[in-house]
Amino acid sequence: MELPEDFYIFQCDTIKKERQLFLNVLITDPPVSIRTHKIKLMSDWIDKSDVPWNDHGHYLDTRPSFTLDPNFHAGAYYVQEASSMFLEYAVKSCIDLSRPNKVLDLCAAPGGKSTLLNGLLSEDSLLVCNEVIKSRINPLKQNLAKWGYPNYLICNHECEDFENLKGYFDLVVVDAPCSGEGLFRKDKKAIKEWSIDNVQLCTSRQKRILKGAMDLVKPGGTLIYSTCTYNTSENESNIKWISSLDLFEGIQLNVNEDWKIEEQKFEGSYGYQFFPHKVKGEGFFISCFRKKQIGESAQFKKIKPFAKSISKAELMIISPWIKNHEKYFFFKNDLEEIKAIPQELKYDVDILKTYIKRMSTGLNIGTIKKNGLIPHHDLALSLIVNNDIPNIELTKTEALLFLKKETFKPSTDQIGWHLVKYQNLNLGWVKVLKNRLNNYLPTSWRIRMDLPSN
């Protein structure tokens, strides 16, 4: 594979010294990996092996059609590049996950790192998932909905828009927009789009994002920075720049030598570089920092409640649909949809809604009409839906028909709402009527490819 000769100008010594080994691996197929849900359990994959730095990461011997796997639509796993799963090991090494944490994923879409964080954090922690590009918000929403946890918020802002939340977060993760060198093997377009000008543009943008991110970390809190690049401009120079400000100290991770991850030592900081000719994964870089006890944690005054609770009558209608409904604060949005957030996060959401305007708040429960609930798809995929609701177990053929938003004959005569399941995993809602079945899968979620004839 030919790369632009300019590509080697900013490269670290490893790329320069092992140029041919690096080039040789770029003409091979990238490994296929998934990260499984720790609660939504599915039947084991026959052809898998473990990603060593992630408790739920697995390599697959072949790439199946994920679109035609109902487990994928149920949120039983996320298709994620193995190197980037190292975030789990980094987070576990840096923060106490047994206590409540306020976490910001500043560059969140499409949701790989957000769902990973959501599965790691305690249920009384708050995860704020921000994405600056509006068109990427819907994929982020869908992936977090599949993962099923109720303790996250999604917002659409530049990092500067968080300035009123200085010193608020225990952990800020910046998986920064980059020149995409680590994508060369699986995305040939990334090679054509690469240029020195783009590297310099990315480096400048990364520093701007990092400058805002550093302010948001509370004293003693953690900042994690990552890219899918190899070059010293986007990695080493940015890390040295953070250290030069004397606000953070680098965190050295205890990385197993057998993993073949290259530790890079800079001035008071450490970087961990993944090379595709050394690890079973793509190009990736990550560095972790602890904020010194400088400045103050965020203080807030005159915070007003962002919403009123629903009425007792409305709570009576929805409570049978929710496990442990007393643990949640229920409210309505402008569309009259009922949303839920954990009660213990109510004050934090009040704070965030005061200062962050473009924010999607709460798990969508549904809409009340004629004294009954029309349940939302997010509720079906959530971990808080009441499993005592009537359900229909589908065959794989039926599950795919449901996911294509087509009809099939129900295996029940019981009229009313039902959860449809595949291998005991929730896929969505149907309403069984006297002579037909209504499929309530959102149109935007449906499978668009043709189903196999068998």
Domains and CATH numbers, the chain: 87-291 (3.40.50.150), 300-389 (no CATH), 390-454 (3.10.450.720)
CA-to-CA distance for 141 and 110, rounded, in angstroms? Answer: 8
pLDDT in tens, 341-393: 999 999 999 999 999 999 999 999 999 999 899 999 999 999 999 989 999 99
| DSSP per-residue letters across 146-176 | HH--SSEEEE---GGGGGGGTT-EEEEEEE-
18 backbone dihedrals φ, ψ, rounded to 5°? -115, 40
The tokens 């957030």 sit on which residue? 341
pLDDT in tens, 146-161: 999 999 999 999 999 9
Burial class (CB in 10 A: 0-12, 13-18, 19+), 134: exposed
Average pLDDT over residues 230-243: 96
CA-to-CA distance for 287 and 401, rounded, in angstroms? Answer: 45
Using the 8-state DSSP alphabet, how is residue 281 labeled? S
Mean pLDDT of the chain: 94
Tokens, residue 17: 């010294």
Amino acid at 133: I
Tokens, residue 363: 């798990």
What beta strand segments (E) does 11-160 contain? Answer: 32-36, 48-50, 57-60, 77-79, 102-105, 126-130, 152-155
pLDDT in tens, 3-14: 888 999 989 899
Residues taking part in catalysis: 228
CA-to-CA distance for 123 and 120, rounded, in angstroms? Answer: 9
CA-to-CA distance for 282 and 287, rounded, in angstroms? Answer: 17
Query: Three-class SS of residue 447?
Result: coil
pTM score, whole prediction:
0.96
